[in-house]
């Protein structure tokens, strides 16, 4: 009988990498060039927002009236505004405000909308009727007009603008989650969980919520872009950030009378808004293509 020799120095076969939905999603996302481009744009503005106090060449509040409306130069890369303030420094600090408002207003909308959507979809009956009618009432008004009305009632400020943007966008996430819950609650794994006596709260947090994350993530990413535009619109109307805060929309409002005389006062904050919104839209579209099974070919 032939003997089988084993080489002790032979390398053990590499363990196969266990596939998973999130790992597969990351691989697909990594292949989506437009989504990666959007992520790079967002990361760039996040870095700018974080390092603004360290690298901004001037204080964003510093006024030099002798240097008002100076064209871009080696001293003032983006030029100066009508108060002689350095636009490059103000755009850098403005990234902190726009990203902060966009992120936290969407987080507030997601938390409130998800909670209401789960209650309406899972428990139904009178809870669903009340919550759905509340969503219908909010959606009956144009979003920007309702946002303006809420800020006008609360008072012009950046914080109140954040609250208004969050409130107006709650139905978007609430209806999205409600529809997802309605499709999930009659699935076999949910019915099995009920049959073995699992409590409703555990079902909601262990099964319903995790399976509802995909549309929330996609809509939330796109929602940040919308929130940034709404914050800029409120700032343009004087209802958002108040002077001397360097909010991009407010910068556009203050510079609109100098469009012909000093176009750089409008070009750079407007370009910052455009690039940031573009980044989140590209990322959101990429996530939708990756996470939504209906988009896969």
Q: Domain residues of the chain, as ranges?
A: 83-292
DSSP 86: B
DSSP 82: T
Q: Determine the average pLDDT of the residues in 29-38.
A: 84
Residue located via tokens 């919104």: 277
Q: What is the pLDDT of residues 138-185, one digit of tens each?
A: 999 998 899 999 999 999 999 999 999 999 999 999 999 999 888 888
Cis amide bond preceding 248, omega within 30: no
**Nearest in space to 62 (alpha carbons), one of 76, 50, 43, 45:** 76
256: which residues sit within 8 A by CB, 6+ positions away? Answer: 266
Question: Taking all residues of the chain, what is their mean pLDDT, rounded to a whole number?
Answer: 86
| pTM of the shown model | 0.84
SS3 of 80, please? strand
Half-sphere exposure of 177 (CA within 13 A, CB side): 31
Composition of the chain by helix, strand, coil, percent to 5: 70, 0, 25
Cα distances (Å, whole numbers) of residue 257 to 64, 86, 152, 226, 270 = 19, 18, 25, 26, 15
Distance, in Å, from the CA atom of 62 to the CA atom of 60, rounded to the nearest integer, reads 6
Question: In CATH, what class is 83-292?
Answer: mainly alpha
CB atoms within 10 A of CB 242: 13
Distance, in Å, from the CA atom of 98 to the CA atom of 252, rounded to the nearest integer, reads 14
Distance, in Å, from the CA atom of 222 to the CA atom of 230, rounded to the nearest integer, reads 13
Q: Is the pLDDT reported for residue 35 higher than 90? A: no
Q: What is the pLDDT of residues 232-258, one digit of tens each?
A: 999 998 898 888 889 999 999 989 888
């Amino acid at each position: 009988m032939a003997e089988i020799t084993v080489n002790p120095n032979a390398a053990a076969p590499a363990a196969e990498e266990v596939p998973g939905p999130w790992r597969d999603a990351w691989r697909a996302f990594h292949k989506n060039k437009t989504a990666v481009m959007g992520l790079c744009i967002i990361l760039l503005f996040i870095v700018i927002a974080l390092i603004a106090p360290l690298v901004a060449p001037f204080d964003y509040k510093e006024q030099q009236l002798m240097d008002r409306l100076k064209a871009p130069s080696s001293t003032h890369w983006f030029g100066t505004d009508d108060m002689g303030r350095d636009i490059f420094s103000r755009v850098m600090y403005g990234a902190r405000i726009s990203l902060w408002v966009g992120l936290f207003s969407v987080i507030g909308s997601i938390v409130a909308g998800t909670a209401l959507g789960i209650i309406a979809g899972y428990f139904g009956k009178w809870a669903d009727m009340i919550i759905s009618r509340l969503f219908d009432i909010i959606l009956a008004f144009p979003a920007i007009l309702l946002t303006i009305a809420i800020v006008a009632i609360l008072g012009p400020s950046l914080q109140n603008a954040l609250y208004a943007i969050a409130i107006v966008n709650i139905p978007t996430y609430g209806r999205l989650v409600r529809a997802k819950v309605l499709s999930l609650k009659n699935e076999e794994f949910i019915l099995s969980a009920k049959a073995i006596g699992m409590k409703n709260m555990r079902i909601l947090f262990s099964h319903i919520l995790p399976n509802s994350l995909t549309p929330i993530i996609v809509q939330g990413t796109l929602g940040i872009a919308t929130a940034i535009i709404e914050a800029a619109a409120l700032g343009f109307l004087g209802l958002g950030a108040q002077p001397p805060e360097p909010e991009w929309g407010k910068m556009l409002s203050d510079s609109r009378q100098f469009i012909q005389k000093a176009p750089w006062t409008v070009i750079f904050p407007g370009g910052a808004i455009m690039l940031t919104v573009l980044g989140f839209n590209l990322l959101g579209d990429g996530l939708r293509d990756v996470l939504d099974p209906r988009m896969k070919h």
